[in-house]
Amino acid sequence: MNRKNHPRGTRNSRREKKQHRFSRKLTFAALFAISFILICGSVYATYAMQHPPKEASNLEDDDYQQKEIALLEQIRESQKQAKLENTEQEKTDGNVQTLLYEPTVTNSIPQFQALKVALTALIDTAQKNSPKETPLKLVGYIKIIKANEQVIGYQPVVESYTWNQTNEEWTEQTEVSKDTAFVNQKTNQPLTLQDLFTSEANILAIQQVIQQKLLAESPDANTIIDNVLNMPSISLDQTAFTYYSDKISLGLPDNATGKKEITLSYKEIAGYVNPEYIDPDSIKDALPAPLDPNKKYISLTFDDGPNPETTPRLLNILKEKNVKATFFMLGQNVVKNEALVKRVADEGHEVASHSYSHPQLTGVDLQRVKDEVQKTDKAIYHAIGKLPTDFRPPYGAVNKDVATIIGKPIIQWSVDSQDWQSHNAQAIIKRIDETAYNDTIVLMHDIHPETVDAVATVIDRLRGEGYEILPSKELLGNKAKPLHMYYGSKDERPVQ
Q: In terms of Cα–Cα distance, which of 96, 83, 172, 98 is closest to 135?
A: 96
* Number of helices (H), then strands (E), in the chain: 15, 19
Other CB atoms closer than 10 Å to residue 386's CB: what's the count?
14
- What residues are paired with 320 via a beta bridge? none
Q: In terms of Cα–Cα distance, which of 422, 418, 412 is closest to 444?
A: 418
Q: Are 407 and 235 in contact (CB under 8 A)?
A: no
Strand (E) or helix (H) holding 251: strand 247-251
Q: Which of 195, 349, 354, 445 is catalytic?
A: 445
Q: Are 482 and 234 in contact (CB under 8 A)?
A: no
What is the SS3 assignment for 349-394? CEEEECCCCCCCHHHCCHHHHHHHHHHHHHHHHHHHCCCCCCECCH
Q: Which of 195, 303, 377, 390 is catalytic?
A: 303
What does the DSSP assignment read for 48-63? HHHSPPPPHHHHHHHH
Q: Are 234 and 218 in contact (CB under 8 A)?
A: no
Which residues, 6 or more positions from 420, have their beta carbon under 8 angstroms from its beta carbon? Answer: 445, 448
What is the 8-class DSSP label of residue 188? Answer: T
Distance of CA 388 to the CA centre of its chain: 26
Q: Residue 75, by phi and psi: left (phi above 0), alpha (psi -120 to 50) or beta?
A: alpha
The question of whether 303 is a catalytic residue gets the answer: yes
Q: Are 99 and 75 in contact (CB under 8 A)?
A: yes
Q: Which residues are part of the catalytic machinery?
A: 303, 445
